[in-house]
């Protein structure tokens, strides 16, 4: 039989280092978190070759005396747990293994000086062996250098990525920690080049915009919501300001950067009917809850957390995000396309000499079809369901007492945010004049959002909840744990119109489905809900699926591109947009309108 033996100390440290120090970014994270917990107001980070050759973190925190430096390099020694209540930890870290683990796989130099001391102290540990222990001259605070990471562990070194990739991971770590603590100044240099510089005591919205994307200052909404003992703050980008990947979603719990599936699912649910499935929101959210309501010890690096009441947390995040986005009104992220603007300034090149002025006007007018000769494209509203069939007639109806050939709105109507309609271009875009510029509206995208919001406001969800009984119940085979989770949620699922029964240890019997799903894949639907319950403990995914059905109905039932609208119809659409929340983007996250301000128009003609 194999003999059980105690592992030597250096091997124990290397095993611990494998848990704590996966790459330079994980070592940098531990050092910066220590600097934050030390009460620093300014933290400086220096890197060389992406952290492979050098990681240096300097802070102006409380500092350490020589005995404390020696103790900090021992395993399971920490100042962050004043008592044995490990579940109530209020600092960023407490494992007490970061420094000894780093010192076992690199050359670690610690220099520190308390604020009330005349001199500092220096201790160097070279791959687990103390090399230097002597006085040092430095200002109050602590400076830690990590050199030649995994230099004597070639098996780990060869699995690290390129210097550029490791630098990107280190930059992401510093960016997240800098967002979590706007009261602390951060500076980061890589190979002598400064890449991050933020001042202390900065407002949260300004700090997030500087670190994530400057566009968030214009294309984001502030969030500040409370429910019970939980509070959510941060900045969320408008749905029209999105990315193709989810790497610009920054989530924090009690000041700790996390990458939690529950929170990511809540963000996806909040933007479910405002973004295409392959687009992702840009945001930074800060959740504050009592320490006893969250477990931060479920991951060695504390990047994942576990909530005592995950259903409450997810519902709180979804509700707060949706409320903030709805309160943004008709705002839309509208970055001016440089290429499109330049096209306005390109002078036309005539293929032949210009004719006389009179003949030019005659030709122009003779080539234009008259209004009475034009036949609008046939409406496709009849293709949609009865829930929204009469909506277009109601919204697009002529205002009472006005004839078809009614004149333009009075001048005071220019006070409307989206202005008054002046015409239609290509049967697709409405051109309106506002007090502060020219507004161009995509009529199909705008009406698509209006139809969806009217469906919801009119109780479309209640109509969708009506069940359609299956002629032959479907049997869906699942794992026993998944069946247990579904069985616990049968009452909630029945409110959506999905009627399930337990059918043995590893199967569920589907007796009815929501009527609007029609001939959907029942097996795939039930499996997706079971997977969502396993991930998030809630059946919100079913609600998201139903909202996607609503969005599809709204898309097919909306005013089509290419359909001619009267002036009254165009103005009715504009007024409805002004009354409808989230009308600045369609159901797929695209903008519904753009504005060309007066000063932009003046620039086009050289007036400014």
Q: What is the pLDDT of residues 176-199, one digit of tens each?
A: 999 999 999 999 999 999 999 999
Task: Calculate the average pLDDT of the chain.
Answer: 76
| CATH code given to domain 329-342+380-401+411-608 | 3.30.1370.100
Task: Decide which of 405 and 75 is more confident.
Answer: 75
**CA 40 to centroid of chain Cα atoms:** 29
Pair of tokens at residue 596: 């060309």
Q: What is the CATH number of domain 9-198?
A: 3.30.565.10
- Give residue 88's pLDDT: 60
Q: What is the pTM of this model?
A: 0.64
Domain 204-327 matching CATH 2.60.120.280: the answer reads: no
HSE-up of residue 380 (Cα within 13 Å, Cβ side): 13
**Best-predicted range by mean pLDDT among 60-69, 97-106, 571-580?**
60-69
Which span out of 72-81, 124-133, 261-270, 288-297 was modeled with the highest average pLDDT? 124-133
Distance CA 160, CA 266 (A): 33
Q: How far apart are CA 578 and CA 595, in angstroms?
A: 15
Higher-confidence position of 132 and 455: 132
- Token reading at 174: 């510093």
Q: What is the DSSP letter of 286?
A: E
CA distance 436 to 451: 28
Please check whether the two domains, 204-327 and 329-342+380-401+411-608, share a CATH topology. no
Domain boundaries, the chain: 9-198, 204-327, 329-342+380-401+411-608
Report pLDDT for 48.
95
Q: Which of the pair, 267 or 20, is modelled with greater confidence?
A: 267
- 318 backbone φψ class: left, alpha, beta (φ>0; ψ -120 to 50): alpha
């Amino acid at each position: 039989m194999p003999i059980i033996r105690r592992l030597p100390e250096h091997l124990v440290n290397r095993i611990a280092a494998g848990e704590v120090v996966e790459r330079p970014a994980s070592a940098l994270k531990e050092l910066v978190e220590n600097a934050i917990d030390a009460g620093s107001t300014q933290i400086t980070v220096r890197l060389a070759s992406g952290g492979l050759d050098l990681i240096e973190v300097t802070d102006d925190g409380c500092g350490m005396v020589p005995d404390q430096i020696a103790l900090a390099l021992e395993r399971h020694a920490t100042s962050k747990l004043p008592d044995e209540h490990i579940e109530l930890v209020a600092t960023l870290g407490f494992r007490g293994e970061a420094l000894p683990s780093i010192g076992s796989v690199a050359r670690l130099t610690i220099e520190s000086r308390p604020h009330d001391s005349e001199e500092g102290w220096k201790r160097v540990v070279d791959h687990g062996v103390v090399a230097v222990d002597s006085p040092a001259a430095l200002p109050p605070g602590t400076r830690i250098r990590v050199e030649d990471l995994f230099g004597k562990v070639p098996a780990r070194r060869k699995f690290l990525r390129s210097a550029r990739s490791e630098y990107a991971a280190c930059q992401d770590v510093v960016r997240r920690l800098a967002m979590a603590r706007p009261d602390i100044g951060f500076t980061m240099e890589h190979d002598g080049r400064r890449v991050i510089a933020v001042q202390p005591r900065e407002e949260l919205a300004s700090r997030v915009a500087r670190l994530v994307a400057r566009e968030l200052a214009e294309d984001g909404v502030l969030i500040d919501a409370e429910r019970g003992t939980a509070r959510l703050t941060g900045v969320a980008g408008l749905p029209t300001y999105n990315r193709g990947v989810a790497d610009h979603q920054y989530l924090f719990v009690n000041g700790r950067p996390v990458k939690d599936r529950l929170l990511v699912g809540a963000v996806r649910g909040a933007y479910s009917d405002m973004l295409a499935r392959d687009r992702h929101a840009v945001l930074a959210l800060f959740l504050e809850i009592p320490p006893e309501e969250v477990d931060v010890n479920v991951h060695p690096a504390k990047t994942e957390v576990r909530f005592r009441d995950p259903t409450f947390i997810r519902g709180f995040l979804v509700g707060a995000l949706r409320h903030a986005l709805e309160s943004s009104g008709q705002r839309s992220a509208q970055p001016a396309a440089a290429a499109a603007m330049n096209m306005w300034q390109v002078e036309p090149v005539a293929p032949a000499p210009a004719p006389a002025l009179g003949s030019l006007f005659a030709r122009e007018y003779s080539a234009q079809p008259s209004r009475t000769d034009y036949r609008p494209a046939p409406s496709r509203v009849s293709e949609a369901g009865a829930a929204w069939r009469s909506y277009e007639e109601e919204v697009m109806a002529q205002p009472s007492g006005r004839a078809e050939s009614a004149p333009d709105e009075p001048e005071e109507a220019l006070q409307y945010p989206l202005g008054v309609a002046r015409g239609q271009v290509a049967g697709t875009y409405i051109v309106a004049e506002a007090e502060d510029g020219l507004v161009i509206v995509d009529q199909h995208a705008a009406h698509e959002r209006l139809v969806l919001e009217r469906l919801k406001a009119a109780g479309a969800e209640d109509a969708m909840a009506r069940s359609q009984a299956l002629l032959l119940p479907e049997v869906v085979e699942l794992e026993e744990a998944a069946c247990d989770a579904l069985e616990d949620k049968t009452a909630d699922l029945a409110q959506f119109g999905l009627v399930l029964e337990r059918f043995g240890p590893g199967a569920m019997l589907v007796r009815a489905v929501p009527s609007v799903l029609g001939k959907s894949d029942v097996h795939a639907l039930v499996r997706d809900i079971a997977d969502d319950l396993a991930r998030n403990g809630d059946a919100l995914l079913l609600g998201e699926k139903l909202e996607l059905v609503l969005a599809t109905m709204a898309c097919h039932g909306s005013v089509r591109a290419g359909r001619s609208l009267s002036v009254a119809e165009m103005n009715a659409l504009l007024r409805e947009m002004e009354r409808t929340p989230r009308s600045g983007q369609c159901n797929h996250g695209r903008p519904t309108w753009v504005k060309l301000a007066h000063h932009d128009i003046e620039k086009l003609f050289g007036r400014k």
